[in-house]
Amino acid sequence: MKNKIFTLCSFLLFFNYVIVYGQSETKYPFGIEHVIVIGLDGTSPDGIRSSKSPNIHQLIHDGAVKWNVRTVLPSSSSPNWASMIMGAGTEAHGIIDNDWGRADYTLPPVVTNDEGIFPTIFGWVRKYRANAEIGAVYQWGDFGRLFEKSAMNFDKNMPNENATTSEFCKYIIAKKPLLGFMHLDLVDDIGHEFGHGTEAYYSSVSKADSLIGLVLKSIKKAGIENKTLVIITADHGGVGYGHGGATIEEAEIAMILNGPAIKKGYSIQQQVYTYDLAATIAFALHIVPPYAWTGRPIKSAFKNFEEPTNLFVGKSFIANPKIYPLKYLYQEAGGLYKDSSATVYMRTIEENALTFYTIDGSIPNNKSKLYTSPFKIDSNAVITAISIDKNGNSSLPVKSYFRFVSSAHKPGVHVQYFSGENTGWNHIPVFQIMQPNYQWDSNEFEIDREQIFSKLNHNNSTFGCILESNIQIDQSGLYTFFLRSDDGSKLFIDGKEVINNDGDHGVIERNGMVQLNKNIHKIKVEYYNGSGGFWLNLFYKGPAIPKQIVPANKLFVLK
């Protein structure tokens, strides 16, 4: 009897051991002894998809990717790099803008470490791995103020992307870090100088990709290739020459994971935020994160781990289709055509999806016309397209504005240009007491960048413009005008102010409504640029008219 009881107890103990320790075997991924993170400042999902970046795409092919990781707001560098390494959002760590300093902030962190900042992945790894090799090499100097200096074995700020990569590669080969972080700033620099979505921007992503290739070679040369988790990420995307706003282009990035414990060719389904990076690194290194973090590890990217059982998928947005000619900087897709028709091309970006479109500005659905091949149009149209996948998920609607005018219709907007050199304008000046430096006629309410650049002093980009025209209204009713500008602008119709979009700011759109009868109405825009980049567009909508750029063939200069 005693032997039977002993045998039963032994069996139960063994069974309990299997349950407890069997579970612990799947609590964390195994095979990861090093984590290398490469951060590409200002790199959008479109930047990766539309550039020649073979190293990144190979990492995606052999690993896991989340294409629509959501940033914290504002979609700027300090708040997002901080969120990534601090495992929480701005409301927790208090780094709400790029002006933040350790002794200069408005919102204190909810908890601080010995250096007076919110705990980062570097400090937390140091806490649990006292003898670990931890290092960071970064091109953007301000990245260095975001983490605990006491946690680092290696901490280098380098002057450019080549030096940053070279130093990081040497560090990997020499020290084989448990956790290494490289920050590259070149893509963001080009985005600000030449604009997001430009050829220069895509070329900068390709350059960054080549530097990633050097890091991958250094990992192999160090003999740790089969033990290293590589993570590629970014802080934000961009629109035009900037970022910081709440648009998909600015507030979504891609995150790529590749390594021994990562699923191959996997598309991550769980929702991911930039602050999930720190928790994911801790998870890979078998470290329990601090309670103050709100980020969650991206477990579903790892082998033997499934998507969360409570995952609410619902309807998610897939990649937007593209309509050609593409949107360029802040200039909308489509274009103005003189004495010619236009050929409309579209491209579906999302795999296993179809693209549907309308030509009247309405939002398409799966009952709308299916795009199968290019087609021609020869009259004003607002072409709107969406992609829909086999699961019923759709993209956001993408709009393209096609306008047509004959050469017999003379340019309908008279432009007066005022130099603002040495003025320090921060609002629209009183143009009425000034003499214009130049005058010309334009087809639409816009600022021709090349024309303006030819008139600016290279050391001063302050200027102002008055744009005047007469607009033909074909049907009486309530009209809404939309004035989009960087910096300030105002819209007047028949001498009355309709929109005030004045002041120093990035590209902001404001609107105003006005009742107009069927007639010709005077329309005027006053605009100024204080410094840096500049932009101006005017849209309207009215009875049976979808929101669109005010058409050139409805604008006249009456002498």
Q: What is the per-residue DSSP string for 121-156?
A: HHHHHHHH-TT--EEEEESSGGGGGSS-GGG-SEEE
Whether the CA torsion 171, 58, 188, 299 is positive or negative: it is: negative
Cβ neighbours around 147 below 10 Å, total: 25
Residue 289, domain CATH = 3.40.720.10
Same domain, 291 and 351: no
pLDDT tens digit string along 2-29? 454 444 444 444 444 444 433 344 699 9
* pTM over 0.75, yes/no: yes
Same domain, 401 and 418: no
Same domain, 427 and 358: no
Query: Would you say residue 20 lies in a domain?
Result: no
Query: Would you say residue 161 lies in a domain?
Result: yes
Same domain, 451 and 393: no
Same domain, 401 and 549: no
Same domain, 38 and 101: yes
Out of 301, 335, 368, pick the residue that ends a domain: 301
Element (H, E) at 169: helix 161-175
In this structure, are residues 318 and 395 in contact, taking their beta carbons and an 8 Å threshold? yes
Same domain, 381 and 451: no
Query: Would you say residue 265 lies in a domain?
Result: yes
Query: Would you say residue 390 lies in a domain?
Result: yes
Same domain, 514 and 397: no
Low-confidence ranges of the chain (pLDDT < 70): 1-26, 559
C-alpha separations of 105 from 2, 157, 181 in Å? 71, 23, 26
Residue 495, domain CATH = 2.60.120.260
Q: What is the per-residue DSSP string for 319-346?
A: PPPEEESPPBTTBPSEEEEESS-EEEEE
Whole-angstrom distance, CA of residue 466 vs CA of residue 528: 9
Number of domains in the chain: 3
pLDDT of residue 559: 65
Residue 346, domain CATH = 2.60.40
Can you say whether residue 240 is alpha, beta or left, with left for phi > 0 and alpha for psi between -120 and 50 degrees? left
pLDDT of residue 25: 46
pLDDT tens digit string along 237-274? 998 888 888 889 999 999 999 999 999 999 999 999 99
pLDDT of residue 240: 85
Considering all CA atoms of the chain, what is the largest pairwise distance in Å, rounded to the nearest integer?
115
What tokens were used for 247?
């648009």
Whole-angstrom distance, CA of residue 195 vs CA of residue 188: 9
Q: What is the per-residue DSSP string for 192-229?
A: HHH-TTSHHHHHHHHHHHHHHHHHHHHHHHTT-GGGEE
Same domain, 336 and 384: yes
Same domain, 278 and 241: yes
Same domain, 395 and 468: no
Out of 362, 382, 405, pick the residue that ends a domain: 405
Same domain, 490 and 386: no
Domain containing residue 442:
413-556
Whole-angstrom distance, CA of residue 412 vs CA of residue 552: 7
pLDDT of residue 313: 78
Q: Which among 520, 523, 412, 413 is positioned nearest to 476, based on CA atoms?
A: 520
Query: Would you say residue 386 lies in a domain?
Result: yes
Whether the CA torsion 96, 99, 100, 105 is positive or negative: it is: negative
Cβ neighbours around 339 below 10 Å, total: 10
Q: Which among 241, 240, 239 is positioned nearest to 251, based on CA atoms?
A: 239
Whole-angstrom distance, CA of residue 67 vs CA of residue 173: 30
Query: Would you say residue 503 lies in a domain?
Result: yes
pLDDT of residue 3: 52
Strands (E), 406-543: 413-419, 438-442, 463-473, 477-486, 489-493, 496-501, 508-516, 519-529, 535-542
C-alpha separations of 203 from 47, 104, 172, 323, 352 in Å? 9, 37, 26, 21, 28
In this structure, are residues 206 and 52 in contact, taking their beta carbons and an 8 Å threshold? yes
Out of 405, 437, 464, pick the residue that ends a domain: 405
Query: Would you say residue 313 lies in a domain?
Result: no
Query: Would you say residue 310 lies in a domain?
Result: no
**What one-character DSSP code corresponds to residue 263?**
P
